[in-house]
A and B are shown apart, each in its own frame.
Chain A
Amino acid sequence: MSVSSRIHARHLAELYRLAAERFESLPAFATRGRNKVWVPVSFRELYDRGRCIGAGLVDLGVSAREPVGLFSDNRVEWMLADYGIQLAAAVNSPRGTDVTQEELVHIVNHSGMKLAFVENAGMARRCLNLKARLPDLRMLVVLDEAKGLPEGSMGLAEIEERGRKLLEAGRTDVDARAEGIVPEDLFTLIYTSGTTGKPKGVMLTHANMMSQVDHVPIQLNCTDRVLSILPIWHIFERMFEVFAISHGACNYYTSARNLGDDLKQVEPTFMGSAPRLWESLHHRILNGVRQAHPVRRGLFHIGLFLGTHCREALFYLRDNDLRLEPVSPLRRGLRKCRYALQWTALLPWYGFFNAAVLESVRLKAGGSLKGTISGGGALPPEIDRFFNAIGIPVLEGYGLTETTPVVAVRTPEKLVRGTVGPMIPQTEVRIVDFDNGDILYPDSTSPEGGRGRRGEIQLRGPQIMKGYFNDPETTAAVLSEDGWFRTGDIGMVTWNDCLKILGRRKATLVLRNGENVEPEPIEMKLKLSRFIDQCVAVGQDQKFVGALIIPELSAFREKGIEAETLAELNRLPEVRRILQEEVRAAMADASEFRRFEVVKDFRLLDEPFEVGVEVTNLFKLKRHVIHEHFADVIAGMYPVEKS
């Protein structure tokens, strides 16, 4: 029996109010306070305090539909600030504290924000130091006042107090503000890195977010505990938290350091996170196994074996196997018989090992997980298989900031490994040929409807953004008149109607921890070195950024290192040493590159890129081709993790 406690609302302000009325004293958020003790904040408290902050913001002159900055990492005050912003009908524009100086300047000036919330005194000082470059930013509100309030900023408590007095005096303009919100109004303006380098402001509306709450196929209710670890300014985490609020579930904030403890203490029933987290959990479990008694280790491996093969059979029997090619019904029928036999033969053993061994493994993740959503990058297949085998279903999803973000996600009923599941309700997908724009899927003229064809994924649905802020040109490039959004990702639709992501045509690299890296600035910087002719930054779904480098023969010759061909040159040890030094020097400027953007390893290529093959006739890199051609070289750079 599943009892729903979902709230339907037209916009976030209404959602926040209804959640307070329905869930009252239930905890909405919980964080570790001093002495590491968990402190809950109820739906009622959040709303009441948020309303005061909203009233305070209105009083400070924040107008409706005005962008308000929110530069902070996860904390309950983030949510309080957001409640205030939404209830005042303003637009929040969030970013974490790891924002670079240039990005900060761009975001503040491009959005035209006059007021910004900042996490602490340190962040406030960073903004104050840039004052000359941020002419419009008039007010800074510090969320955490523990380290004091720098001159020229005010505390969150002060705004809250100001609002409280106004409300007590009967000045309830803020409520009228919230009343006036229409679903097409923006609720957030998220700046993401784009291919052109400068961050773009993605405009997402209340209707976008509410459609996610209504259509993302996850079952939650107010007995659920959601463990949150991703940065809240990522749309994935943000959507998840709003989703939890609309169901009365409680968000528990954890961190990478406390994760192991918190999994056991909170016993979460649901979690959303990036592939990196599943890897580290996988690692932790296997480490525990390695240290265990040999008998238990043996039992674990038998359990894992049985789990893997039982699930595999079950996936096939339920038509949830990865179906990239059509298979005749007869052949499928025969295979089903085989898998049915396999399943029946293993079931009693699996039943026992599931109870005796796998359950204790699941307890390492709290033991109550009903499911987990992975997003923000491709989940490595072996991790995927592992968690499914031990009985923690991993629901991989797909989406972009521009799509609020979920467009497709696996569900417990359609858990097809290797795909990101079926499209969520009301969302359409089409696969379009990159070169000529032909629609490959859906295709009513072909018997298979266009399944199995590869091309660009294009999407249409209620979650697609309104556009990029003040950038009609870029908006027009990705958003067609009839509402189709071009993702720049390559994909296909499988025979059981799930979406499979094959790669990215767009240059942006998404590392395994979910961080977006723009390769172009890195490549440009590297190419400044006289020893480097051409280079490509790689690292999609990997732990770090790597590079493929084609050395400059002539530069080495000048240095007295003679070689006839690149292949010959690349075999000389001093070449690698020189290039290592060059790469290190290029990456040294911390203000230019963030820690995770630094190139940590590289491989040398023996042939220059061929025009028309790896590069266009304008010498633009054809990244998907390069990734394909040098897949082995790239893979060699990233050590295979032992499992």
Chain B
Amino acid sequence: MIDPDIELLYAIDKALLGVMILVIMFGMGASLTLNDFKAVGRRPRMILIGFLSQFGFMPLIALGLSHLLNLEPALAIALIMIGCLPGGTTSNMFAYFARGHVALSISMTTASTALALFMTPVLLNFYTGSYTRAIAEQMAEEGSFFIPTKDIVVSLVLVLVPVLGGMILRRFSRGWAKVAEDTAGFMGMIVILFLIATTLGRHFRLVISTPWPLYAATISLGLIGFLFGYWVSRLFGAHPIQQRAISLETGIQNTPVAFAIILMSFPQPQVQNDMLWLAVMYSIFIVISSSCITLWLRKKGQFDWEVYKNTLIHGRLFGEAYVTRYPKAFLPARIAADPSQGALSGEQLRED
């Protein structure tokens, strides 16, 4: 356990982090429209698969890792909480570069963000019972410990306010919304660099003394999430383009929300320190691992993406009735079996 006397983040850091979270969530809202919500209804099957892997598998993966690696209770709670979070807008950008289905990624982010208000506290309570009791026993003298469901809901609502604000901005000015979106993206990178700088600069001893299971847990959570998302969606017959979007959406969680919840709902110094430390490590590693996974998926998906794009553009230029037929044995069986030959029945990559 981390020494509770160490001040992992100073008050000023916390304030800065708060501002950054605000900017990032505002930018997330600026990238969304009401149509993105409506679009959720148009592809219920894939959204359901995404839902299953985000709220079904991710918490279970986190729980499994906690048990397997024998994490301390506070760390385990943090890991499981990250597992229960919705997806962030970063996943949309990664989905774009991984040649994934961006519209699906956006729909999943939208759906999971809305559902998180309910799912995150419920799942957290459900999976962390034994860990909560363990902490409560340790802290018997200082008072009781429980998962502050109400506070978590409040924090979630609070981070959703800037999202709503961003959406309203987008409604009135696309240009400014784009600026907000880019600023948020830039801020996202600044946050990561800020976190790296503070931890390496101020708490270098902590970096060295952190036991390996914590590294293993924070690195694997994302990676196993990618793996599950990729194969579970494949099992349900998703097209490679959708598979890549679901995979990234599953592994990448909305970490700003994690920080908001930890800072607002877990005031106990030692619990907060442990949880923050894990969240910091997850944030750093997820950026690195999703960059690598994105590069890999991009390479792997080049061919089916090109088939998909070409078919789509034929339809756009020559009329919807135009049928593109590739030569025999040119397409792999999986895409060839799809009557649209990869065009997902003319569905657009991004509806706007």
In the assembly, what is the distance between CA of A568 and CA of B323, in Å? 74
A76 CB, nearest partner CB in chain B, Å: 14
Q: Which residues of A contact B97 (CB under 8 A)?
A: 355
In the assembly, what is the distance between CA of A293 and CA of B313, in Å? 31
Q: Are A355 and B330 in contact (CB under 8 A)?
A: no
Q: Are B179 and A26 in contact (CB under 8 A)?
A: no
Q: Are A265 and B306 in contact (CB under 8 A)?
A: no
A61 CB, nearest partner CB in chain B, Å: 37
With A267-B309, A352-B186 already in contact, the answer to whether A3 and B314 are too (CB < 8 A) is: no
With A1-B302, A265-B316, A348-B189 already in contact, the answer to whether A24 and B309 are too (CB < 8 A) is: no
B130 at the interface (CB under 8 A from A): no
Q: Are A25 and B325 in contact (CB under 8 A)?
A: yes
- Candidate in A39, A355, A357, A368 with the most chain B CB atoms within 10 angstroms: A355
A23 at the interface (CB under 8 A from B): yes
A40 at the interface (CB under 8 A from B): yes
In the assembly, what is the distance between CA of A604 and CA of B316, in Å? 56
Q: Which residues of A contact B309 (CB under 8 A)?
A: 223, 267, 368
Q: Are B330 and A222 in contact (CB under 8 A)?
A: yes
In the complex, residue of chain B having the shortest beta-carbon distance to the beta carbon of A351: B291
A273 CB, nearest partner CB in chain B, Å: 20
B117 CB, nearest partner CB in chain A, Å: 29
Q: Are A293 and B185 in contact (CB under 8 A)?
A: no
Q: Are B313 and A267 in contact (CB under 8 A)?
A: yes
B324 at the interface (CB under 8 A from A): yes
Q: Which residues of A contact B118 (CB under 8 A)?
A: none
Q: Which of A223, A248, A296 contacts B306 (CB 8 A)?
A: A223
Q: Which residues of B contact A224 (CB under 8 A)?
A: 306, 310
Q: Which residues of B contact A356 (CB under 8 A)?
A: 182, 185-186
In the assembly, what is the distance between CA of A39 and CA of B318, in Å? 6
Contact with A along B280-323 (1 / 0, CB 8 A): 00000000000100000000101100110110011011100011
A225 at the interface (CB under 8 A from B): yes
Q: Which residues of A contact B179 (CB under 8 A)?
A: 293, 295-296
With A40-B322, A352-B185 already in contact, the answer to whether A266 and B317 are too (CB < 8 A) is: yes
A30 at the interface (CB under 8 A from B): yes
Q: Which residues of A contact B325 (CB under 8 A)?
A: 24-26
In the assembly, what is the distance between CA of A242 and CA of B160, in Å? 56
Q: Which residues of A contact B93 (CB under 8 A)?
A: 355
In the assembly, what is the distance between CA of A367 and CA of B8, in Å? 44
Interface residues of B in 210-245 (CB under 8 A from A): none
A522 CB, nearest partner CB in chain B, Å: 44
In the assembly, what is the distance between CA of A590 and CA of B316, in Å? 44
In the assembly, what is the distance between CA of A24 and CA of B302, in Å? 24
B326 at the interface (CB under 8 A from A): yes
A299 at the interface (CB under 8 A from B): yes
Q: Are A38 and B189 in contact (CB under 8 A)?
A: no
B339 at the interface (CB under 8 A from A): no
B327 at the interface (CB under 8 A from A): yes
Q: Are B318 and A27 in contact (CB under 8 A)?
A: yes
Q: Which residues of B contact A265 (CB under 8 A)?
A: 313, 316-317
B334 CB, nearest partner CB in chain A, Å: 13
Q: Which residues of B contact A267 (CB under 8 A)?
A: 309, 313
B201 at the interface (CB under 8 A from A): no
Q: Which residues of B contact A295 (CB under 8 A)?
A: 179, 182
Q: Which residues of A contact B318 (CB under 8 A)?
A: 27, 30, 38-40
With A1-B302, A1-B303, A30-B317 already in contact, the answer to whether A23 and B185 are too (CB < 8 A) is: no
Interface residues of A in 1-55 (CB under 8 A from B): 1-3, 5, 22-27, 30, 38-40
Q: Which residues of A contact B303 (CB under 8 A)?
A: 1-3, 223
In the assembly, what is the distance between CA of A411 and CA of B192, in Å? 36
Q: Are B327 and A24 in contact (CB under 8 A)?
A: yes
In the assembly, what is the distance between CA of A355 and CA of B90, in Å? 11
A105 CB, nearest partner CB in chain B, Å: 41
A92 at the interface (CB under 8 A from B): no
Q: Are A225 and B186 in contact (CB under 8 A)?
A: no
In the assembly, what is the distance between CA of A87 and CA of B322, in Å? 29
Q: Are B182 and A299 in contact (CB under 8 A)?
A: yes
B175 at the interface (CB under 8 A from A): yes
Q: Are B327 and A22 in contact (CB under 8 A)?
A: yes
Interface residues of A in 445-494 (CB under 8 A from B): none
Q: Which of B182, B189, B313, B326 contacts A26 (CB 8 A)?
A: B326
In the assembly, what is the distance between CA of A211 and CA of B209, in Å? 64
Q: Which residues of A contact B326 (CB under 8 A)?
A: 26, 222-223
Interface residues of A in 178-237 (CB under 8 A from B): 221-225
Q: Could you list 15 A-B pairs, sorted by A, with CB under 8 Å?
A: A1-B300, A22-B327, A26-B324, A26-B326, A27-B318, A221-B330, A222-B310, A223-B309, A267-B313, A295-B182, A296-B179, A296-B182, A299-B182, A352-B185, A352-B186
By Cβ-Cβ distance, the 9 closest A-B pairs, closest first, are: A38-B317, A223-B310, A223-B306, A1-B303, A352-B189, A25-B325, A223-B307, A356-B185, A22-B327
A-B contact sample (5 more), CB < 8 A, given A25-B325, A40-B317, A223-B310 = A38-B317, A222-B330, A223-B309, A265-B313, A355-B93
